[in-house]
Structure 1
Amino acid sequence: MSFERKFTKGVAWMSAGGWVEQAINFAILAVLARLLGVETFGILAMAAALVLLVEFLVRESVSEILLTQDTLSPQRLNSVFWLLVAFGAGLAGLLFIASNPIATFYGEAQVAPLIVALSPTVPMIALAAVPVALLRREMRFRALALRAVCGVIAGGVVGIGMALSGFGVWSLAGQRVTQVGVNAIMAWAAVSWRPGLSVSFTHIGEVLHFGHRIIGLRAAELVAVQMPSVIIGATLGPIQAGLFSIAWRAVEIASFLVTTPLRMVAHPALSQVMRDGANATALLLDIMRITGLVAFPAFAGLALLSEPALTVLFGQKWAAAAPVLSILSVFGLYLCIEKVQQTYCLAAGRVGILALLAWCEVGLSITLIYLTVPFGLPAVTAGFVVAFLVLWPLRFRNLAAIANLKAGTLMRLHIAPFFLAAIMAAGVYLVSHQLAETSGLIVLVTGTLSGLVLFAGLAFFFLRDRLEVLRSFIRQKVPASKPRYTTLLETRGEKDSN
């Protein structure tokens, strides 16, 4: 199988699995939102903020080195595994210790036992991190997709069952622990490797040298996206935290559907191209073209249709989250593009500057959030988003330096989809305005379909190069011995402006 076909097949499996997973997740979230209410989600958001941060530190940190190394010896794998086990156990212990002070900070006693109940997910993720990294390195995305779907189904069954039985907020904790547990079991079932006791201090040193930078990056990213929930919960109360939580969850799911499958495949693919000495920059540009083609119209549409989307999916009581969702849609667009850019830096092992920029975003976002608290939840959300947009050009410059490109070349890739998405947004607004007196479902379905048709027509006339990239991935049958990305930039020339 050629590299292009392997890449396309991986994206297809991750897309199918991700879309099925998130469709099920949406349905489960809608049921739980109707059963449990706004305040329950707000309390969970307070408890889960630190837990999710710790989970992410374990999930996408030290094990990332397994995607960049040329060879994987048993000692290297063992070293990574046992470091992660120790790291996960230590972080779970810190969650237990910090649970009461965090509950005191919020003024919500129920937060402490919730943190304790959620903390087992951390060592579960640590135990499964190496098997997941091996599946990603080998581009076995079918197994990863099936694992994700089974996990969300199992978690949903437990969560809804507990909610119907009157467990309240504990049903959300049960859902999460079950989902992570099933994911871990299925990851181990999909690989033949098993850990041993032979480790190498040389390998441990290499892992720690790489790991402290990426842990710094992941910590900054998680603090940045979880801090709004913490500050909102502490200053504006659980109801406002619940509204922000549901809007953030909608954006998170949308970004997952739009680009996570592509990003998850891109990282090992870029690493493989770099290991083979082929043209990883060309692959980066193609991935960015595809990302812009999908992300701009998706989040423009979500911003305009936020209110009918929330009321149809979660009920009328969540309509107050619509302004927050519209503003967060801008952050969703940023997140999709930035995460894809980040994969190139990770594949190249160049994460130091990224970590520094991420912590600068943390400082600026916290400052702007506190300054905007007196003006209400939409203002807080806007302050949070602005912090990332202000520093975004520096991320473009960092990526350009690593990829040996000009920052302007990377930025110009997004000009055309931006303007076409703006035209599409205007059309969707006119359609939804004409249907304002009808039901939310009609507005949502009609607005979505009209946006899809309008943007597809615009893309056919103005973004044919991107459509050609998609077509080339699907149909490419170049032998694996002749990598497509060895000479792609030379044959394409300087067509980076679109």
Structure 2
Amino acid sequence: MQTRRPDPNPSALSRRSAIAVGAATLLASGVFRQGLGVITLAVTARLLTPEDFGIIAYFLIATALLEMLQRQIGMVLIRLENVTVGHLDTVFSFQVIFGIMTAALFWAARPLVALMEIPALLELLPVLSALALVIAIRSPRFLLFERGLRFGYAAGEETFSRVIYSIVVITLAWFWRDYWAIVIATFVGQAMRGVWTFAIAPMVPRISLSQWRDSLSFSSWSIGAQLAQFLSANAPQLIIGSTLGLADAGLFRIGTRLVNVVTHQLFAPILRVVYPGLADLSRKTNQRKEGFRTLNAGFLAILLPVSVGLALVAHDVILVGLGWKWLPATQVVWILAPLYALGSIQANVRSAVYIEGSTHVLFFRNMILLVIVCALMWVGVQYNFSGALYAAGAASVAGLLMTLIIAKRFGDGGFFEPLTVGWRSFLACAVMTVAVLTVEVTLRSGEHVPRILVVGLTKVAVGVVVYTSTHILLWVMAGRPKGFETTVFSLVGRLWNHLSRQTA
């Protein structure tokens, strides 16, 4: 009996159900992976030093850049009306060409990197060259699952690579006690992602540029826009490392890593639903603006309380999970967590711009933002680590304002509409903050770990209950308008009915 391979373009599920199921699947995957990621971070943070994390920050930024740019090459497959074998071969060819080019650039960059006077970075350049080729070898056909709103395979890819990475990095860090554990684990994890894509979406790629016009016209602006955005997002880390030293760079890396866990990485799989979902709505309906508003409200309802909650328990989390040496990273979380959550609407704006085909707008926006961020950080580092943190916060505010300017193209409301659609989330967060701070004042006594753990868990429990109940109460008082809450209750109802039928 032959095994039937999955079809990337099913038509059995309705559009709304497919998007909802995909989001739920990826969220569950994200919760598991980031829970594992937090455990991995806690272990490696206790085994390695801030200087190790300062060095590895450069390596991980370069790795993320390679992965982000390679993904942009294939994004055209989601937008196109019809995808042919020629498109798949062309995308794969561009992936390989870009991988070879970036590998050569890393290899040739030794004289420039030597100017930074950090010997460890020179040792990492050959690894980055090899990694550029590894990341390039992935099946373009795998993206057709996202195009068809089937996100379970993407969840499998993310989970599989995270498990492999965690096993390797914890094992090597235990024996080596230096940053090479993270380097090798990252290399292995990326290789396993490529294996997964070809195993699930097999194809025999050919080197062909027959559809280069469709791919290049979209990807060139898209890559430029994403490159500028990536540099503006990582400029604070790079500038802190080059001016304030590896120890401060390591503290900033740990703080932003914790922030990114809850504002980006935990929900990054859900972000993969946004672009295909909006693209599908754009192709088949005229509800793109309504979908844009609903997504903005949904992201704020989820990310805002989680990020504010992290800021409220940051001291407890870092002290119990990572240890005393990482306590200065607490102020990174305090300043950046809420701002990063507000910046989550940028993902929706970027998806809407991709669908509209106006990727040049994103490119110019991100280039201007890059200049602003570098200028702010240059001023901030003159006032040491605290000044750099305030500059990073100001850069996030600048990015949010520029995002709101572009967002006006996709809504019917005013300048702040992408934020005001989540007014119930803002009010519920305010009530939650008061409740958690009250618990903090009432229960805080002593600094030994068991006491801190109990206080921290109590603050989390109070925050979850107060935020959820306040949000629902505000929704009911507003007349139960159609929005994020409606979608959540609908999903819960469907799940309950499904479970009821299974147990009947």
- TM-score normalised to structure 2 length: 0.89
Query: Secondary structure at 1:139's aligned position in 2?
Result: coil
Query: Which deviates further from its counterpart, 164-173 or 335-344?
Result: 335-344
8 Å contact 1:54–1:122 — kept in the other structure?
yes
Give 1:37 shift. 1.9
1:93 positional shift: 1.5
Is 1:69–2:77 an aligned residue pair?
Answer: no
C-alpha spacing 1:453/1:113, structure 2 compared with 1 (3 Å): same
Q: How many residues align structurally?
A: 473
Indicate yes or no: 2:26 matched with 1:21.
no
Q: From 406, 413, 437, give the equivalent of 2:421.
A: 413
> After the TM superposition, which residues 52-451 of structure 1 pair with which residues of structure 2 at under 5 Å, given as runs?
52-59=64-71, 61-105=72-116, 107-128=117-138, 130-166=140-176, 168-200=178-210, 203-256=211-264, 259-403=267-411, 406-438=414-446, 439-451=451-463
* Cα distance, 1:99–1:339 mapped onto 2, change above 3 Å: farther
Contact 2:59–2:183 (CA under 8 A) maintained in structure 1:
no
1:218 offset after TM fit, Å?
A: 0.9
Structure 1 position 243, deviation (Å)? 0.2
Conserved? CA contact 1:268–1:347, under 8 Å: no
Q: Which residue of 2 aligns with 1:459?
A: 471
**Whole-angstrom CA distance in 2 between matches of 1:131 and 1:20:** 26
Per-residue deviation, 1:196: 2.4
Q: How far apart in 1 are the matches of 2:208 and 2:269?
A: 35
Go from structure 1 to structure 2 and tell me whether the alpha carbon gap of 1:275 and 1:49 turns closer, same or farther (over 3 Å shift).
same
Deviation at 1:193, TM superposition (A): 3.1
Secondary structure at 1:140 match in 2: coil
* Aligned match of 1:484: none
Helix, strand or coil at the partner of 1:84: helix
2: CA distance, partners of 1:135 / 1:121 = 25
Letter in 2 for 1:266: V
Deviation at residue 222 of structure 1 after TM alignment: 1.3
Greater length-normalized contact order (CA 8 Å, ≥ 6 residues apart)? 1
1:7 to 19, 23, 28: 19
Amino acid at match of 1:363: V
- 8 Å contact from structure 2 (residues 33, 162) kept in 1: yes
Partners of 2:91 and 2:82 lie apart in 1 by: 14
Measure the CA separation in 2 of the matches of 1:397 and 1:426.
32
| Structure 1 stretch displaced more, 257-266 or 452-461 | 257-266
Contact 1:273 1:279 in 2 (8 A): yes
Please state whether the residue corresponding to 1:407 is helix, strand or coil: coil
- SS of corresponding position for 1:110: helix
- Pair 1:327–1:103, CA change in 2 (3 A): farther
SS at 2:299 equivalent: helix
**Does 225-234 or 252-261 show the bigger shift?**
252-261
Cα deviation for residue 476 of structure 1 reads: 7.2
1:426-462 superposed Cα distances (whole Å, 9 cap, x missing partner): 2211212223224331232111111111111111111
On the 8 A contact 2:149/2:276 being kept in 1, the answer is: yes
Q: Quote how far apart the aligned CAs of 1:104 are.
A: 2.8
Q: 1: distance between equivalents of 2:433 and 2:146? A: 36
How much has 1:390 moved relative to structure 2?
2.9
For 2:307 and 2:295, the matched residues in 1 are separated by 18
Report what 2:500 is aligned to.
none
Task: Look up the equivalent residue of 2:292 and give its one-letter code.
Answer: L
Identity of aligned residues (%): 22
Cα distance in 2, alignment partners of residues 431 and 342 from structure 1? 39
Contact 1:40-1:168 at 8 Å conserved across structures: yes
Residue pair 1:324, 1:377 contacting (<8 A) in 2 also:
no
Asked if the contact 1:309/1:444 (under 8 Å) is kept, the reply is: yes
The amino acid that maps onto 1:251 is V
CA contact (8 A) 1:312 1:440 kept: yes
Give the equivalent residue in structure 2 for 1:472.
490
TM-score by length of 1: 0.90
- Structure 1: any 5+ residue segments left out of the alignment? 478-498
CA distance in 2, matches of 1:4, 1:434: 45
Residue 127 to residue 134, structure 1, CA distance change in 2 (3 Å): farther
Distance 1:197 1:97, change over 3 A: closer
Task: Name stretches of at least 5 consecutive residues in structure 2 with no aligned partner.
Answer: 1-12, 496-504
- CA–CA separation in structure 2 for the residues paired with 1:236 and 1:78: 46
- State the Cα deviation string for residues 81-125 of structure 1 (Å, max 9, x = none): 1012101211122112214522431x2101111232234332222
How far off is 1:204 after superposition? Answer: 0.5
Secondary structure at the aligned position of 2:204 is classed as: coil
Residue 401 of structure 1: CA displacement?
A: 1.4
